[in-house]
Structure 1
Amino acid sequence: MLVRILVYVALGLFVFTALRFALFLLSNGLAGSMADIRRGTGNLWLALARGLGTAMAADLIALPSCLALALPEGAAGKGVPVLLVHGLYHNRTAWLIFARRLRRAGFANVHTYGYNTFTKDFGAAMEGMRARLDDLLGDDPDARVVLVGHSLGGLVCRCAAGDPRFRDRVAGLVTLGSPHGGSELAWLGGNRMARDLIPGRAISRAVAQAPDPDCPRLCVYTLTDDYVFPLDHLRTGRDGWTERVCAPMGHVWMLYSRQVAAMALGFLAQLKDK
């Protein structure tokens, strides 16, 4: 019975992943982005195979972790605090591997922010984020924080960093696979938070209206993102950002990728040296 259930789960994940990549091809084809993706990957079909494989692997990791108890919010350590913010339909367990890599690299002051993306809206996510930042920064006017967000979490970080209360207190901002222009996959969203990620709707408008903080900013994305498309919606479209393309992989796999972690760590190390 257990084996049969596991087979059905794996089959369901494969079908859902294949559907996402079919929509990825359709969306980017209609947007005229496939030529850029083909040039950027070198071998499109090999890149898609890697994307499909890592997307399925990430789903197998993320599904049980989403049902598990979330990570603790973090404990104060030395150095500027790093606040990790997860994306849609996830929780703080998203950062289990990434946070461990941060700590091994010498970042002892690592924290997470968890918020409800199933029944709450973006406004509630931002309200909780502001409270989390108030808690981390306290009353010290010289206190600073580094924000790192995956997917929707990157948009939460961007809007928080643009808030007048925190704009001068953000030491660095990193987004990983974030839908800066929304995502056409959100048309299939089953709740308000997901549907608000449709291009041009509430979340995209909030991000467009948020000013950038005066700090180093890094945007990392993959050309085979199976949750955020078309391609241009993964880019910030603003000056002052460093944008880096990682290897072909699935959207969720960015949380577990050594290369993506290395990109973020290299950026954060430069902040430590300043």
Structure 2
Amino acid sequence: MPVKVFCYVLLGLALFTLLRYGIFLLSNALAGRLGLIREETGGLGAAVARGVVTAMAADVVALPSILFLALPERAASRTGTPVLMVHGLYHNRTAWLVMARRLRRAGFRNLHTYGYNSFTRDFDHALAGLKDRLDAILGDAPDGGVILIGHSLGGLLCRCAAGDPRFRDRVAALVTLGSPHGGSELAWLGGNRMARGLIPGRDITEAVAEAPDPDCPKLAVYTMADDYVIPLDLLRTGRPGWRERVCAPMGHVWMLYSPEVADMVIDFLRPLRDAGTDEG
């Protein structure tokens, strides 16, 4: 890509970031959540500034990562509980390059990703593909389970798949990162069916609300400076049995690259590994 074109792309992404944070402020103000964000983060201005910077940094990391799609996915180890990672809206399997590296260092090496088309396909198609992938992974270990980790929309796909009677007893742990459990008001700006399905009360949010939770450890991590899931309350699962942890203020996509978020996930999953379900 010519340097001039690349600069225009970055400028467009920067302007879109500022637009999102403008909507973030307006939406959370109308929801009466700016005071809570200010109190919990130590300052609204600093939280938004950090969110803007990390959101832009995520774009800088994500754009060149697309080149890795030309390479085959790294083969997973056949030992330990398989970990299946599911990306969010408009992303791809390269979303997990950094997180996967940190998981391997922590001893989790049976790593898999699931990619789906969120540009021209709908949620049901993505969910059917995820279930097929689970069948394939679990078919190699008929008595074993699987750890599901989903970022953003990927977390909702994981929740719906985990609620399927075929898999509810086979999910060893379920982790969501910045997932719009109640939808997102930013989805009103969505350009396709998949995105608009995240409008609160639409089909994707209804599917998630109807899906039962698996009987396993469940973790939802979110940031109070999320620029895609708006307002704040829509990041909460609203269900018992979930452990919810708030990370430092950062952009929605930066959660994929954050050492803090990776440590939260690893700490949550470590008992599974230490109990011998993932020996790495």
State the TM-score bracket (shorter-chain normalisation): over 0.9
Separation (CA, whole Å) in 1 of partners of 2:114 and 2:8: 33
1:34 maps to a residue whose letter is L
Matching residue of 1:253: 254
CA shift, 1:10, in A, is: 2.3
Matching residue of 2:8: 8
CA shift, 1:76, in A, is: 3.6
| 3-state SS in 2 of match to 1:111 | strand
| 3-state SS in 2 of match to 1:87 | coil
Query: Against the structure 1 CA distance between its residues 68 and 139, is the aligned structure 2 distance closer, same or farther, given a 3 Å change threshold?
Result: closer
| Correspondence 1:124 to 2:125 | yes
CA shift, 1:9, in A, is: 2.1
Matching residue of 2:57: 57
Deviates more, 1:30-39 or 1:256-265: 30-39
| 3-state SS in 1 of match to 2:158 | helix
Query: Against the structure 1 CA distance between its residues 103 and 140, is the aligned structure 2 distance closer, same or farther, given a 3 Å change threshold?
Result: closer
Matching residue of 2:278: none
Query: Against the structure 1 CA distance between its residues 100 and 139, is the aligned structure 2 distance closer, same or farther, given a 3 Å change threshold?
Result: closer
2:146 maps to a residue whose letter is V
Root mean square deviation of aligned Cα: 1.5
| Correspondence 1:18 to 2:26 | no
Counterpart contact for 1:91–1:114, Cα < 8 Å: yes
Separation (CA, whole Å) in 2 of partners of 1:229 and 1:73: 35
Matching residue of 1:184: 185
Matching residue of 1:220: 221
Query: Against the structure 1 CA distance between its residues 14 and 100, is the aligned structure 2 distance closer, same or farther, given a 3 Å change threshold?
Result: same
Describe the superposition over 1:174-228 as per-residue Cα deviations: whole angstroms up to 9, x where unpaired: 0000000000111111111001011110100000000000000000000000000
1:56 maps to a residue whose letter is M
Structure 1 segments (4+ residues) deviating >6 Å: none
CA shift, 1:8, in A, is: 1.8
Deviates more, 1:166-175 or 1:6-15: 6-15
Matching residue of 2:40: 40
- Counterparts of 1:91-102 in structure 2, within 5 Å, are 91-102=92-103
Counterpart contact for 1:137–1:145, Cα < 8 Å: yes
Paired residues, what number? Answer: 274
Task: Report the TM-score, using the length of structure 2 for normalisation.
Answer: 0.94
Matching residue of 1:111: 112
| 3-state SS in 2 of match to 1:168 | coil
Counterpart contact for 2:34–2:44, Cα < 8 Å: no
Counterpart contact for 2:221–2:246, Cα < 8 Å: yes
Separation (CA, whole Å) in 2 of partners of 1:5 and 1:192: 29
Separation (CA, whole Å) in 2 of partners of 1:127 and 1:10: 35
CA shift, 1:59, in A, is: 1.1
Deviates more, 1:132-141 or 1:70-79: 70-79
Matching residue of 2:147: 146
Query: Against the structure 1 CA distance between its residues 129 and 73, is the aligned structure 2 distance closer, same or farther, given a 3 Å change threshold?
Result: farther
Counterpart contact for 1:74–1:112, Cα < 8 Å: no
Counterpart contact for 1:66–1:90, Cα < 8 Å: no
| 3-state SS in 2 of match to 1:116 | coil
Counterpart contact for 2:176–2:221, Cα < 8 Å: yes
Counterpart contact for 2:108–2:273, Cα < 8 Å: no
1:25 maps to a residue whose letter is L
Separation (CA, whole Å) in 2 of partners of 1:154 and 1:61: 21
- Counterparts of 1:65-84 in structure 2, within 5 Å, are 65-66=65-66, 68-69=68-69, 72=73, 74-84=75-85
Counterpart contact for 2:222–2:246, Cα < 8 Å: yes
Separation (CA, whole Å) in 2 of partners of 1:200 and 1:153: 18
1:199 maps to a residue whose letter is P
1:192 maps to a residue whose letter is R
Separation (CA, whole Å) in 1 of partners of 2:47 and 2:64: 27
Separation (CA, whole Å) in 2 of partners of 1:253 and 1:36: 22
Task: Report the TM-score, using the length of structure 1 for normalisation.
Answer: 0.96
Give 5+ residue unaligned stretches, structure 2.
276-280
- Counterparts of 1:235-274 in structure 2, within 5 Å, are 235-274=236-275
| 3-state SS in 2 of match to 1:84 | strand
CA shift, 1:63, in A, is: 2.5
| 3-state SS in 2 of match to 1:69 | helix
